[in-house]
Amino acid sequence: MKEGGYRLLPDGYARFLKICNGYAFDSVELCGTESVSNGDESFKLNSVAEMTACMYSYWDEPEVLKKSSFLCFGRHDADFLTYDCETKKYQHRSHECMGSVYWEYDTFEELFKLLMEGDSKSDWRPTNIGDICP
């Protein structure tokens, strides 16, 4: 990560990767240290470095996406899971407007628990994207 100009992985996510180097199931993708595919290339799970580079190249929001501030480590449905190195918060961000943070979490464990519980919580996803991304 450091060679690519990105910050190092946060401790909580690094601990997860020591147990499970990537995860993809039921609309949750958590990137590992290396990219992997299923063999026939119909599915690819990017590495954290690749996912972060993709995030920076895709959106033209330089005031929001500073290479020194954000790591993108996964996706939930179409939205992005990021870590803000300045605030030290794990975040669930809109895929439509990267400047919009749906939720922030103090620990990876807190975010992971909610991801594994699924969409059963009524407050998991905003109902009106206009309230978040004007």
Nearest to 12 by CA among 74, 56, 62, 80: 74
What gap in Å lies between CA 20 and CA 60, rounded to an integer?
32
Token pair 């993809």 in the structure block, residue: 24
The larger pLDDT score, comparing residue 15 to residue 38, is at 15
Catalogue the E-assigned strands of 15-87.
23-25, 28-30, 36-37, 44-45, 70-76, 79-84
Which one-letter amino acid corresponds to residue 90? Y
pTM for the model stands at 0.76
What gap in Å lies between CA 57 and CA 51, rounded to an integer?
10
Q: So where are the chain's domains?
A: 2-120
How much is the average pLDDT of 8-12?
Answer: 87
Check if the beta carbon of residue 32 is closer than 8 Å to that of residue 19: no
pLDDT of residue 106: 94
21-68: pLDDT as tens digits: 898 888 899 999 888 887 777 788 888 888 888 777 766 666 655 555
Residue 122: strand, helix, or coil:
coil
CATH 3.40.1580 fits 2-120, yes or no: yes
Residue 128 has pLDDT above 60, yes or no: no
Check if the beta carbon of residue 122 is closer than 8 Å to that of residue 113: no
Mean pLDDT of the chain: 77
Q: How far is CA 125 from CA 42, 87, 131, 134, in A?
A: 28, 22, 12, 16
